[in-house]
Amino acid sequence: MITSVGVEQGNQPSRQLLIEQAGRVIAKAGIDEVRLREVADQVDVPLAEAQELFASEAELVKETKRTLNEALTSLVDLHLQRLPENATAVDKLRATALAYFSFAVEDPSAFAAFSAVHATPRVGVTAEDFVNPDGDVEKCPIMQILFELTEEAIKESGGVDPDVDGTLLSALSIFSHLHGVTQLAAEGILRYLSPAAKKQTFGAVMDTLSVGLYPFFRGERVERTIPYGLVGEQPEALVAKAKDYPRGTEDEQRTALLRGAIEEALDHGVTGLHIGGAAKRAGLSVQEAEHLIESDQELASFLERYLDKVNYEFIFRQVAALPEDAKVMSKIKATGYGYVSHALADPKGFEALIKIASGPIVPMSFEDDFLPNANKAVELQRDFSEFGRAFGFIMSLMREAIDEVDGPRTPWVLFTLVISVWAGAHGLAMLSTKGPLRGFDSDYIFEILTHYMDIEFGGIMRSLSGTTD
Check if the beta carbon of residue 191 is closer than 8 Å to that of residue 175. Answer: no
- The domains located in the chain, with CATH, are 71-217 (1.10.357.10)
Are 66 and 182 within 8 A, CB to CB?
no
The answer to whether the beta carbons of residues 61 and 31 sit under 8 Å apart is yes
**Cβ distance 274 to 260 under 8 Å?**
no
Rounded alpha-carbon distances, angstroms, from residue 268 to 21, 243, 278: 18, 18, 11
How far out from the chain centre does Cα 338 lie?
Answer: 14
pLDDT at 224: 79
CA dihedral 330, 331, 332, 337 (to 10 degrees): 90
Q: How far is the C-alpha of 469 from the C-alpha of 453, rounded, in Å? A: 19
User: CA–CA separation, 211 vs 425, rounded Å?
Assistant: 18
Residue 371 confidence (pLDDT): 42
> What was the pLDDT predicted at 357?
86
Amino acid (one-letter) located at 40: A
Q: Looking at residue 379, what is its pLDDT?
A: 38
User: Contact 231/334 with Cβ under 8 angstroms?
Assistant: yes
Distance CA 353, CA 359 (A): 12
Question: What secondary structure, in 3-state letters, does the chain show?
Answer: CCCCCCCCCCCCHHHHHHHHHHHHHHHHHCHHHCCHHHHHHHCCCCHHHHHHHCCCHHHHHHHHHHHHHHHHHHHHHHHHHCCCCCCCHHHHHHHHHHHHHHHHHHCHHHHHHHHHHCCCCCCCCCHHHHHCCCCCCCCCHHHHHHHHHHHHHHHHCCCCCCCHHHHHHHHHHHHHHHHHHHHHHHCCHHHHCCHHHHHHHHHHHHHHHHHHHHHHHCCCCCCCCCCCCCCCCCCCCCCCCHHHCCCCCHHHHHHHHHHHHHHHHHHHCHHHCCHHHHHHHHCCCHHHHHHHCCCHHHHHHHHHHHHHHHHHHHHHHHHHCCCCCCCHHHHHHHHHHHHHHHHHHCHHHHHHHHHHCCCCCCCCCCCCCCCCCCCCCCCCCCCCCCCCHHHHHHHHHHHHHHHHCCCCCCHHHHHHHHHHHHHHHHHHHHHHHHCCCCCCCHHHHHHHHHHHHHHHHHHHHHHHHCCCC
Find out whether 352 and 262 touch, Cβ atoms under 8 Å.
Answer: yes
Query: Among residues 57, 72, 75, which one has the least CA distance to residue 18?
Result: 57
> Rg of the chain's alpha carbons, rounded to an integer?
23
Q: Which pLDDT score is estimated for 163?
A: 87
Please give the Cα distance from 30 to 439 (Å, whole number): 16
For residues 300 and 385, the answer to whether their CB atoms sit within 8 Å is no
Closest listed residue to residue 94, CA positions, set 193, 209, 219: 209
- pLDDT of 36 reads 96
From the list 116, 121, 101, the residue with the least C-alpha distance to 444 is 121
pLDDT along the chain (469 residues), means of 10: 48 87 93 95 95 95 96 97 96 98 96 90 65 73 95 89 88 97 93 92 95 91 84 86 95 96 92 93 95 92 93 94 93 96 96 85 64 40 53 89 90 93 96 88 93 93 77
pLDDT for 302 equals: 93
**pTM of the shown model:** 0.90
pLDDT at position 316 is: 92
Which residues are CB-neighbours of 302 under 8 A, at least 6 positions away? Answer: 254, 258, 261, 293
**pLDDT at residue 142, as a whole number:** 95
Largest CA distance in the chain: 70
Instruction: Name the burial class of residue 271, with classes exposed (0-12), middle (13-18) and buried (19+) by CB atoms within 10 angstroms of its CB.
Output: exposed
